[in-house]
Chain A
Amino acid sequence: MKEMKYSASRRNWLRMMAALGAGAVSQFIPDGVRQAMAASKLVVGAIYVGAKDDFGYNQSQAEAAAALRKLPGVRVVEEERVPETIAVQKTMEAMVNEDGAGMVFATSFGYFSPYVLKVAQEYPSVDFSHCGGLWKPGMPKNAGSFFGYIDECVYLNGMAAAYASKSKKLGFVAAKPIPQVLRNINAFLLGARSVNPACTVSVIFTGDWSLPVKEAEASNSLVDQGVDVLTCHVDSPKVVIETAERRGIYCCGYHVNQAVLAPKGYLTGAEWNWETPYTILVNNAMAGKPMINFLRGGLKEGFVRTSPFGPAVSAKAKQHSLAVKARMMAGDFVIFKGPLLDNSGKTVIPAGVVQAQRDEVLESMNYLVDGVIGHV
């Protein structure tokens, strides 16, 4: 590949320049490149749409970036609360121009189009990794997407919830009815129903990724309806988890481990483990190999993980959950298979059809399965 050669030769060139200690020449080289040369390190940029300590999605990414700092030969620069506007484009350009970044992690879904695509074209020797899984053939070869199959962990959340629940009414606070979110809600219900077919999941969509007040209202309203286990898919689960604990019910975490926010009621949680793809991609770049354009994994590959069980999880629940988890780790467990009805009674997966983890049909999910109370 042309880009690879270019990037490898650029790195060699940098090394050569550093070795020569070409002080005079370096006066004419941009700041960022000079810094990279001085350090002879791979500079990795990480960009987050929210705060690095949000107890949620952005924290899960920042934890992986923090892990990168420990790798030899890697320097990390970060920027938080970067909106999905021209600001993120300029931040990526600045990371390349001012910091000499050789790799950029753009971690918010909305960063990809048009920003990552545009900047990747401008700087063909820099690798751009986007979290969300949108890269398709024909897009810049130095850009790529990584993502994790977290619905496996959410399914295990559902199982733990079903064991803990007395009312068999579970609650789900969700941001928007988009495929990624619907897949988690459905997995939660299917996990719960695998334990007790009487379980239902009531879902409330707040309308956006970070609306703490609405999330609190939704949580309280679900508890008032008799829900006794809450979980969520919003950028920061903090409010939902804290509300559940305050109201004396159980909860399952999302994005990162929120056990400290609910020491009594926290059952388990679906966590990202972005350290795995980050490390794969950075090692790949340091080896001078071409960018990995499409990178996915689930529990088996270590892209996601479950929080340790909380005190309220029974021995039986643990045993059952660990058995299913072992099958997921072995790669022979399928969450979405027919016959499956949506909550209006329509067949969405006919009998005999199996949609395994990597089936692309699941990426355009637009239904809530039978047992979920709510509508898209």
Chain B
Amino acid sequence: MNMYRQALDSLRPIVAAIVVTAGAFALFVAASGYPAVEALMLVGKGAFGSGFAWQNTLSRAAPIMFTALCVAVPARAGMVIIGGEGALALGGLAAAMVGVWWASRPVVMVLAGMALAAWVTGGLWIGISGWLRYRRGVNETISSLLLAYIGQAVFNFLVEGWLRDPASLNKPSTAPLDSRDMIGNIPGMEVHWGLAWGVLACLAAWWLLRHTVFGFAIDIVGGNPRAAKMTGLPVGRLMLAASVLGGGFAGLAGMFEVAAVQGCANADLMAGYGYQGILVSFAARHHPLGVIAGAILIGGLGASNSLLQRHLDLPDAAAQVLQGLLFVSLLAFETLNRRGGRHA
């Protein structure tokens, strides 16, 4: 019973936020001279109104689950990492290169190699921020953001230079993966396997943070690093581990973009998934299971944006307004609902 009440309690601010957002968005749409009620119906229809809409939503949500974990995991250790975009790009590039170099090996080995390369590259990249924080006292938010810019520049330098496939004339890319090594769709759906792995990654992160000693220690570090140090926890190493783990997830997002969508690494990897992940993680209070819902919400907004534009000629900016309203109210109602202390 108590569990149900807890679940209901945590749902209440979400429902309130959605109601307020819907009202505010309807006013905004009406004020701009578009039909408000129809717009609201289309938001629902475009995101969740049909089997096609659901698959549209879930396809868009898949990469954001990984990039949100890149924020959520370090956040449990008290760090605000916002540079997932760079880790995604470099992880994707590493995966693409392993895919090209190992093309003659068995498929399972190629994919495992790609995932590992992406994980390690992304992890090391965000790990730099973690290391700078605990060794040099550099603010990890700033350093991870700046490293994202550096990562993207390195990515462009390599893809437009040494690693460029000479056949990619007007769109510099790495050599394409063998179609044999591409990750396909989940049977019966028009959604690639990255979605299933994304959900699995969120579940794994939840289990790790909630049900292991490591996760408990990280929570303590995040709650009060000094107290954690007093109790003898290796605070620095735990922070480093959390950032490496988070970066690894962002790297995997890049790997799935390469192996399930693009088929090679090029500038399209940097489509903003890393930044959308920040939004999702904060809205989910850095809870890995909340990340699943948050990512689906962002994916749904993308899908309904598409329908709003096509059916009402609303500009893309309207969907940005809707997304902004929704996340601000989610955070606001969450704050109002909090009766002191963190509850995860």
Q: Which residues of A pack against B, CB within 8 Å?
A: 31, 45, 51-52, 77-87, 89-91, 93-95, 97-99, 109-110, 113-114, 132, 176, 178-180, 207-208, 363-364
Contacts and interface: CB of A to CB of B under 8 A. Distances in A.
Given A83-B271, A86-B261, A94-B52, A77 B310 contact: yes
Nearest to A31: B50
Contacts of A31: 50
Contacts of A84: 268, 271
Contact of A98 (B156, B169, B307): B307
Given A80-B315, A86-B261, A95 B310 contact: yes
> Majority SS of interface residues in chain B?
helix
B316 A77 contact: no
B306 to A, nearest CB: 5
Nearest to A77: B310
Interface of B: 50, 52, 56, 59-60, 156, 160, 169-172, 190, 192, 257, 261-263, 266-268, 271-272, 302-303, 306-307, 309-311, 313, 315-316
B249 to A, nearest CB: 18
A78 B272 CA distance: 22
> Majority SS of interface residues in chain A?
helix
A51 B310 CA distance: 14
B171 A98 contact: no
Given A85-B257, A85-B271, A94 B171 contact: no
A320 B1 CA distance: 87
B156 A207 contact: yes
A178 B171 contact: yes
B52 A98 contact: yes
Given A90-B59, A93-B52, A77 B172 contact: no
B172 A178 contact: yes
Nearest to A208: B267
Contact of B310 (A78, A178, A363, A364): A78
Given A83-B272, A179-B169, A90 B310 contact: no
B311 A109 contact: no
Given A77-B311, A94-B307, A110-B268, A364 B171 contact: no
B303 A90 contact: yes
Given A79-B310, A80-B309, A85 B261 contact: yes
7 A-B pairs with the lowest CB-CB distances in the bound complex, closest first:
A81-B316, A77-B310, A84-B268, A83-B271, A79-B309, A178-B170, A90-B56
A80 B314 CA distance: 10
Given A132-B170, A178-B171, 4 more contacts: A78-B310, A85-B262, A90-B303, A93-B190
A118 to B, nearest CB: 10
A89 B56 CA distance: 9
Contacts of B172: 176, 178
A109 B262 contact: no
Contacts of B313: 78
Given A90-B56, A93-B52, A176-B160, A83 B310 contact: no
B298 to A, nearest CB: 12
Contacts of A109: 170-171
Contacts of B302: 87
Contacts of A364: 169
Nearest to B57: A90
Given A85-B268, A109-B171, A78 B309 contact: yes
Q: Which of B266, B267, B309 has the most chain A CB atoms inside 10 A of its CB? A: B309
A84 B273 CA distance: 12
Given A77-B311, A79-B310, A179-B169, A94 B268 contact: no
15 contacts: A31-B50, A45-B310, A80-B315, A85-B257, A85-B261, A85-B268, A87-B60, A89-B59, A91-B306, A94-B306, A94-B310, A97-B52, A99-B310, A109-B171, A114-B263
B169 A90 contact: no
Given A109-B170, A178-B172, A363-B169, A94 B271 contact: no
A80 B316 CA distance: 6
B310 A86 contact: no
A363 B272 CA distance: 31
